[in-house]
Amino acid sequence: MKEKAELEERAKGRLTTRTVAMPGDTNPSGDIFGGWVVSQMDIAAGICAGQRAQSRVVTVALDGMSFIRPVKVGDILGVYTRVESVGRTSMNILVEAWVRRGRIGQREKVTEGMFKFVAIDETGRSTPIPKEEDLPDYVLHGFDE
């Protein structure tokens, strides 16, 4: 018989951030406010994009945001990120947010979307993204995380 973990759907990408949804993050109906979830996804995507670009980055577009299930107070929210494509100065980062219900319960995907970031220099102008072979190992292989 397969272990329970093997039967669970797998997230795409690398686990980039984890946090707990708190009562202060709720909307008037008591579920977690969608803007809070998007903010957590933007933070994680920014970490991923900043490491790929090895520079400051800014969000320029969000595509295909899909709120699949609500997030509840006490859920652990884990955000997974993956670089989907790289342009001259821009990158598309696939982002999935998953919860562990009430810290120890069922694991479910709650939100997904594609975040576009642009690498910028110290003056705020777009700047080229380095080639993959010029990146430090931790960016590609996730040592020390």
Ligand X SMILES: CC(C)(COP(=O)(O)OP(=O)(O)OC[C@H]1O[C@@H](n2cnc3c(N)ncnc32)[C@H](O)[C@@H]1OP(=O)(O)O)[C@@H](O)C(=O)NCCC(=O)NCCS
Q: Residues interacting with ligand X, by CB under 6 A?
A: 58-61, 87-90, 116, 118, 120, 126
The closest residue (CB) to ligand X is: 87
d(CA 97, CA 118): 22
Residue 131 CB, nearest distance to ligand X (Å)? Answer: 14
The answer to whether 119 and 56 have CB atoms below 8 angstroms apart is yes
CB of 10 or CB of 88, closer to ligand X: 88
Q: DSSP labels for 27-48?
A: -TTSSBPHHHHHHHHHHHHHHH
Strand ranges inside the chain, DSSP E? 14-20, 56-67, 76-86, 90-100, 107-120
Residue 110 CB, nearest distance to ligand X (Å)? Answer: 22
* 56, 124, 130, 140 from 143: Cα distances, Å: 21, 30, 20, 9
Residue 56 CB, nearest distance to ligand X (Å)? Answer: 10
Residue 102 CB, nearest distance to ligand X (Å)? Answer: 32
The answer to whether 99 and 107 have CB atoms below 8 angstroms apart is yes
CB of 65 or CB of 73, closer to ligand X: 65
CB of 15 or CB of 135, closer to ligand X: 135
Q: Is 144 helix (H, G, I), strand (E, B) or coil?
A: coil
CB of 80 or CB of 115, closer to ligand X: 115
CB of 76 or CB of 129, closer to ligand X: 129
Residue 64 CB, nearest distance to ligand X (Å)? Answer: 13
